[in-house]
Amino acid sequence: MSLWLALAMGLDALLGEPKQLWDRVPHPAVLMGRAVGWLDRMLNEGGPARGRGVAACALLVIGAWWLGGLLAALPGPFAEIAVAAVLLAQRSLVDHVRDVASALRRSLPEGRRAVAMIVGRDTQAMDEPAVARAAIESAAENLSDGVTAPAFWFLIGGLPGLLVYKIVNTADSMIGYRTPRHEGFGWASARLDDLMNWVPARLTALLIWLVSGRPGPWRDIAAEARLHRSPNAGWPEAAMARALGVALSGPRAYHGTMQDFPFVNPDGLRGIGPAAIDAAVAILWKAWAAGLCVVLVLAWT
């Protein structure tokens, strides 16, 4: 299993998301989103919302596990390697984050448009440091959600484990918000996503900390991570902030409302721009390489 994962990681890093392929057939993530959306429409009406949300989450998990088992039963390792490569996101993450740096070098409005593709906050009034912070925070969080966590659950549960993680993560991104419609219905998906990301988020922080070249005390990362509104996202974000020597997070607006989040690594540099994003991309590749080395060691032990 570890060897198949190593091959999938290499394939993803080499090819990323071939546009010519996904222009012709739906990406698996798109299909997962359709499944979540269909259950939201079918089940999120009438009756106790939390109970119906638990049922929806259970159906998604059972379906993903069944499909993963079906694909894993195909002869040879090709299906496992190919599906794992498609569901890993290292290359696409790097490309999207690097695009923000390139756009920001051209102009601030282009930087805002580019970062709006990868974050959910308001971007219209961002200055250059805010654009850079948003890109770096997205890089750190998605290294965990898009690379470390899928790889971890593939090692734990093979293709079924990977598909279960991806469908739960997709559900959380669609219905796991505290809105009037989804606060109850999305509760199970959000809590299961928190649970499935608990170990990967901390592993991601550890990888960033180890490859940073400037590791400060781990206890400082842990202390700041626990202040984050998410039980998991704060870990890679705090590690990235200290690896780069910059301040991340801080005040930002959602749907026109400014929210006064505290800075992570508040003594770090705040006047950052494209160069800091480039440095974050370098950390992404170093952490990926360190993770690949771990997988290869597991394959040969």
Q: Tell me the per-residue pLDDT of 152-205, one tens digit each, with 9 for 90 and over.
A: 999 999 999 999 999 999 999 999 988 888 999 999 999 999 999 999 999 999
Give this prediction's pTM.
0.94
Crossing angle for the helix pair 90-106 and 274-299, to the nearest 10 degrees: 170
| pLDDT of 103 strictly over 70 | yes
Quickly list H helices, the chain: 2-15, 19-22, 28-43, 49-72, 78-87, 90-106, 108-115, 128-143, 149-175, 187-211, 218-225, 234-244, 274-299
Give the C-alpha separation, 248 to 47, whole Å: 42
Angle at the Cα of 113 (from 112 to 116), degrees rounded to 5? 85
Give the C-alpha separation, 240 to 212, whole Å: 8
Beta carbons within 10 angstroms of residue 168's beta carbon = 29
User: Which pLDDT does position 85 carry in this prediction?
Assistant: 95
Tens of pLDDT, residue by residue over 111-130, are 999 999 999 888 898 999 99
Q: Give the three-state DSSP class for 214.
A: coil
| pLDDT of 216 strictly over 80 | no
| pLDDT of 149 strictly over 90 | yes
Decide: 296 and 109 in contact? Cβ < 8 Å.
Answer: no
Within 13 A of 103's CA, how many CA atoms are on the CB side?
20
| pLDDT of 46 strictly over 70 | yes
Give the C-alpha separation, 49 to 69, whole Å: 30
User: Which pLDDT does position 146 carry in this prediction?
Assistant: 96
For the chain, what is the domain count?
A: 1
Decide: 174 and 185 in contact? Cβ < 8 Å.
Answer: no
Contacts of 7 (CB under 8 A, 6+ apart): 81, 85
| pLDDT of 22 strictly over 80 | no
Give the C-alpha separation, 193 to 150, whole Å: 12
User: Which pLDDT does position 229 carry in this prediction?
Assistant: 81
Decide: 236 and 256 in contact? Cβ < 8 Å.
Answer: no
User: Which pLDDT does position 215 carry in this prediction?
Assistant: 64
Q: Which domain holds residue 95?
A: 2-299
CA distance from start to end of the chain: 12
pLDDT class of 261 with cuts at 50, 70, 90: confident
Structure-derived torsion over alpha carbons of residues 51, 54, 59, 60, reported in degrees to the nearest 10: 140
